[in-house]
Structure 1
């Protein structure tokens, strides 16, 4: 697989500090027993970044273009 970096995630989440926080939270979830949302044979942090870049994981404050949270009515 291609190399993944924080810059790859910036297209989806515009704040690099938020990306780092999201990745840390996701790694903690893996260690609690959550399953990865993407196929990866990499370390936990790389898998978390891959999930963020693939928009499988979104920040809690994420809203769609119409101002609504995904999944809300």
Structure 2
């Protein structure tokens, strides 16, 4: 796939700041072993996360999901 632009992602996320939060959370999930929703194509997790956002597989609702990367205390 061609490069993902911020503008591609902003069609599905309200603003650039929220885009950073959504992309970083999804990239962390992918890095920790979550299955990607788009073709992997040997990209880094951040690129895969941005592609998922641009293709509307992931959106701001991911921020409401609990973070399973750290054990609860």
TM (normalized to structure 2)?
0.74
CA-based RMSD: 1.5
The structural deviation recorded for 1:20 is 0.9
Query: Are residue 35 (structure 1) and residue 71 (structure 2) matched?
Result: no
Greater fraction of residues in helix? 2
Which entry has the higher C-alpha Rg, 1 or 2?
A: 1
- Ranked by relative contact order (alpha carbons within 8 Å, sequence separation 6 or more), the top structure is 2
4+ residue segments displaced more than 6 Å: none
In structure 2, the partner of 1:56 is 57
Looking at structure 1, the residues matched to 31 and 47 of structure 2 have their Cα atoms a distance apart, in angstroms, of: 14
Looking at structure 2, the residues matched to 13 and 51 of structure 1 have their Cα atoms a distance apart, in angstroms, of: 12
Runs (5+) with no aligned partner, structure 1: 62-73
